[in-house]
Amino acid sequence: MQERIPVASVDVGLDEERYVLDALRSTWVSSTGPYIDRMEHALAERTGAPSVIAVANGTVALHLALLGLGVRAGDEVLVPSLAYVAVANACHYVGAEPVFVDADASTWCLDPALCARAVTPRTRGIIAVHVYGHPADMDALRALADKHGLWIVEDAAEAFGAHYRGRPTGALGDMGTYSFFGNKIVTCGEGGALTLRNPALEAHLRMLRNHGMDPAHRYHFPVTGYNYRITNVACALLCAQLERAEQILAQRRTVFGEYRRRLDGLPGISFQPVAPWAEVAPWMFNIVVDAEAYGRTAAELAACLDADGIETRPLFPPLHREPPFSAQWRARGEALPVAERLGDTGLTLPTFNRLTVDSIQRVADCIAAHRG
């Protein structure tokens, strides 16, 4: 029986082991230690961000960003419907209303023209998610934000290594957020980061990250804060991942290329589009299944592949349909057909650094064999 192919798998090597062991032996295993500073400086250098704050995960990075920007109850924030739920949850954490905007079919990211139509007097900002590693059109969104006095939070959780018009993603908005969850391009299991430009705001957010404690007066808490800290051990793992990031990116780009070569031209199967100005981060390889041309729906294909020992995932279900958000969406009466179509017809194939060519061929052969 053939070995099951997972949709994602973590790749750690000898440097990761060495750095983690060093952190353990140093006894700096909690929320202070040299690897935290080292990781923050490494990510700042890579993204061009003036400041980086390491945090427990990507979701709390979004929450801290909204807190730092003063978002509160009654505010509206434009967010993509085709995205992971964290982007909308973070709005609810601060009492704001996520206003869902449809995807641009050519990028799968926020459609700037539809964002312009969604702005109201209560709109405070935009969370621009680089969906599945493809950069959002940041220049168009910035022009809209400047026109209406809005901020932009750049959610680069899925876009480590992506470039927008030659510029690295992650520091193109007023703030940026990263996730280093186990299936991300570089990972420490659970972790995240916040990029920002304002030194005064950085000090405030670092205080919020650490229970609201004044760094100059131990156990004095001038504000209500959160325990959003990351550990030195996690950052040790992440430092090693960042040091070999180019190798990791190259391996994953090879996986993307092999999938495209083997699936190109298969009736009913298409790929995530890439805008001419974008360099996509090779996070997860996605296909779109045209049920009429292929002979099966995406869900039916997923079931067939599962029976063959190949794990897949559907694309993100449109957030506006989810129970915590659907009532507000229905009240607005807005149609989001692109997000709905992609959520219903998209499929994520196994994507990880050490996925072999033989395994990619096996996936492609199974997809071809299951045409209806």
pTM score of the predicted model: 0.96
> How far apart are the two ends of the chain, measured CA to CA in Å?
25
Side chain identity at residue 197, one-letter code: R
Question: What does the pLDDT look like over 188-235, one tens digit per residue?
Answer: 999 999 999 888 899 999 999 999 999 989 999 999 999 999 999 999
pLDDT at 253 over 70: yes
Buried b / exposed e along 290-312 (16+ C-beta atoms within 10 A): ebeebebbbeebbebbeebebeb
Q: How confident is the model at residue 316 (pLDDT cuts 50, 70, 90)?
A: very high
pLDDT 10s digits, 100-132? 999 999 999 999 999 999 999 999 999 999 999
**Within this chain, do residues 319 and 232 fall inside the same structural domain, yes or no?**
no
Strand order in the sheet with 123-129: 51-55, 192-196, 175-179, 151-155, 123-129, 76-80, 97-101
Q: What is the CATH number of the domain that holds 178?
A: 3.40.640.10
- Contact predicate 305/369, CB 8 Å: no
3 is a domain residue:
no
Do both 155 and 269 map to the same domain? no
Q: Where does a domain end: 209, 243, 277?
A: 243
| pLDDT above 70: residue 1 | no
| 55 and 196 assigned to the same domain | yes
| Boundary of a domain, candidates 200, 218, 243 | 243
Provide the domain limits for residue 120: 14-243
The enclosing domain of 262 has a CATH number of 3.90.1150.10
Element holding 340 (H helix, E strand): helix 337-345
In a domain, 8, yes or no: no
Could you tell me if 273 and 189 lie in one domain?
no
